[in-house]
Amino acid sequence: MGSAALKKVDIAHESHYAFERGYPTEKTAEQAYDDTDLNRAIQAYKFFYPTVSGAAMLRGNAQVGVLPNKVFGILDCGPNELMFTGNSDTPYGPIQLDLGIGPIVIELQPGPLIVCSIDVNQRWVADMGLPGPDGGKGGKHLLVGPDYTGELPKEGYFVHRASSNTQVVGARSLPVNGDVEGAKARLKTIKVYPLNKTAGWAEPQWLDITGRPQDTTPVDWEDNFQFWEVLHRTIDAEPAFAGYRNEYGDLAALGIEKGKPFKPDRRMKAILEEATRVGNAQMRVQAFGDRSPERLPWKDRQWEWVSLRFEDGDFNTSNRLDLEAREKWFYQAIGASPAMFRRDTQAGSLYWLGHKDKTGAYLDGGKSYELAVPLPVPGKLFWSVTVYDTGTRSQIQTDQKKAALRSLFELKDLKGKTAELHFGPKPPAGVENRWIRTIPGRGWFVYFRIYGPEASAFDGAWKPGDFEQVR
C-alpha cells in the first residue's frame, strides 16, 4: 500500500475516533466498544448459526412427538414440513439420541440406507449405510459421547466419537423402483440400543409423522433477540467442544457463557439484536449472491455448486476452515458429511443450486419458466428438481401441495432426448404433470439432485439447460 493510501486510511480513522494525548475521549471509548461488540456479535452470529439451526431441529422433532431415545420418526417429506432444503425423494427417519446415558448402538441391516449423524452444532460425526464404512452391507455403529471414559469394544463395531451428547441422526431409505412404502418399512429395521445395560431403557417406537406440520428451521429466531437466548440455552446444555474455544471467547465477551446467566443490559441487547439483522442479511447475500468463481460447475450456465467445500464434512481445507462455504451451506441446508460433498462417481448424491434464469436474473414467482434437461440424466439411481421458497428455504407451499419433479414418480414415463420442465404461477396446457406452481411476489430456487451420479455429471459431458422465461 502506497503512502497516499496509508494517509487516507489514517484520516478516515482519525475522523471516526478522537484521542487526546493518546487517550480516548469518552465518546470515542463508547463508540469503540459499541463497534467492537457489534463486529464480534455479527461474526459470532454467523459462526453459531448452525448451532441455533440444530436447536430448531430439536424443537421441530418435539413438535411431532419425536423424542430422544424413545420415539423415532418416519417421514415422507413434503411442503407441510418446514425443513431447510428438505426433499421428497426418499423417506426420512429422524432419530434423536441422548448419549448422556452412555454409548448407543445403531445397527443397520444390509440394504439401501443412507444414514448420517451430526451433533447439536451440526458438526459431522458419522456416515453409515451406503456412504459409510459398512457400504450398505449392514453393521453395528457405536456412537460415543464426549465425556464417556469407560471401556469400548475392540472389534465388531464401527466406533464414532461425538462432540455433543445430543445427536441428530438422519436416516434415509431409497425407494427402489419407486416403492415408498417399502422404503418406509426398511427404516423400521434400524435397531437402536445402549451398549451397556441401562435402567429404564425401552425399545424405541417408530412414529409415522408424514403430513404433520412441523418447523425444524430457525427462521422464527434468526433476526431477533431470541437467537441469542436459544444459543445460550443450547450451549449451557452440552459439554463444551474444545474446537470452539476461540469462538466461546467471543460469546463470553457478549455475555454468553456456559454455566452463567445471560442477562444483557439495554445497550448490549440492542447490539445483539442489530447483529442478528446484519448477520442474517450477510448470510443471505452469501447464499444467493455468491461471488466465488469456484461456484460454477459450467462456465456457460447459471447453475452453482450447492457447497464449495468437499474435502470433509466440516468445511476444512488442508490449512483452514472455509467460513464462506460453511455460512452459505448452513443458511440453506442442514447437516453435512464428506459423502454429501464428494465430486466423483463414488458420491452417493450430487446437488446443484439454481436461482437465476439464462440472463442472470433471479427467479421470480410471478413469471413462467421452462427448464430443458437432456436425457438420460447421468445417475445410476434417480434424479429430481425440488423448488424452495427463498424466505423459508423450505419446500414451496402452494395449493398444488407438491414442490418436486422426480424421475421415480412425476417424470417416470419420460421419453426422448430432452425433458422440458415447467415452473410458474399458472400450469402450461397439456404438461401439468411436469409443472410446479410458484407464488407471485416471492422468490424461489431449486436444487437439482442426482443419486448415484456418473462421470458425465462431473466432466462436463452432460449439463442441464438454464431456466428460460416463457412470455
Report the pLDDT value the prediction gives residue 15, as an integer from 0 to 100: 53
- For the stretch 307-314, contacts whose Cβ atoms lie closer than 8 Å and that sit 24 or more positions apart, written own/partner, are 307/336, 307/340, 307/341, 307/351, 309/341, 310/338, 310/341, 310/342, 310/343, 311/338, 311/341, 312/124, 312/338, 313/123, 313/124, 313/127, 313/337, 313/338, 313/339, 313/340, 313/341, 314/123, 314/124
128-156 pLDDT per residue, tens: 999 899 999 999 999 999 999 999 999 99
Q: Lowest mean pLDDT: which of 22-36, 325-339, 391-405?
A: 325-339
* Residue 211 pLDDT exceeds 90: no
207: left (phi over 0), alpha (psi -120 to 50) or beta: beta
The residues spanned by each domain of the chain are 24-64+216-285, 68-211, 289-470
Whether residue 31 has pLDDT greater than 80: yes
Helix-strand-coil split of the chain, %, nearest 5? 30, 25, 45
* β-pair type (158-161, 166-173): unpaired
| Position 8 pLDDT exceeds 50 | no
Contacts of residue 345, defined as CB under 8 A and 6 or more positions apart, other chains included, come to 453, 454, 455, 458
SS3 of 374-441: the string is ECCCCEEEEEEEEEEECCCCCECCCCCCCCEEECCCCCCCCCCCEEEEEEECCCCCCCHHHEEECCCC
> Mean pLDDT for the chain?
92
Tens digits of per-residue pLDDT, 173-185?
999 888 999 999 9
Strands 71-74 and 205-208: parallel
Considering the four listed CATH numbers 3.90.1640.10, 2.40.37.10, 2.60.120.600, 3.30.465.10, the one that applies to the domain covering 289-470 is 2.60.120.600
Look at the domain 68-211 and name its fold: Immunoglobulin-like (2.60.40)
Other C-beta atoms lying within 10 Å of the C-beta of residue 166? 23
pLDDT of residue 14: 45
Is the domain 24-64+216-285 a CATH 3.30.200.20 member? no
What is the tens place of the pLDDT at every residue in 309-334? 566 788 888 889 999 999 999 999 99
What does the pLDDT read at residue 471? Answer: 86
The answer to whether the CB of 79 falls within 8 A of the CB of 86 is no
Check: CB of residue 71 under 8 Å from CB of residue 94. no
Mean pLDDT, to the nearest integer, of 420-425?
98
If pLDDT is split at 50, 70 and 90, which confidence band does 1 have? very low
Confidence of residue 337 (pLDDT cuts 50, 70, 90): confident
pLDDT class of 300 with cuts at 50, 70, 90? very high
Average pLDDT over residues 25-34: 95
pLDDT band at residue 343 using 50, 70 and 90 as cut-offs:
confident
pLDDT of residue 129: 94
Confidence of residue 70 (pLDDT cuts 50, 70, 90): very high
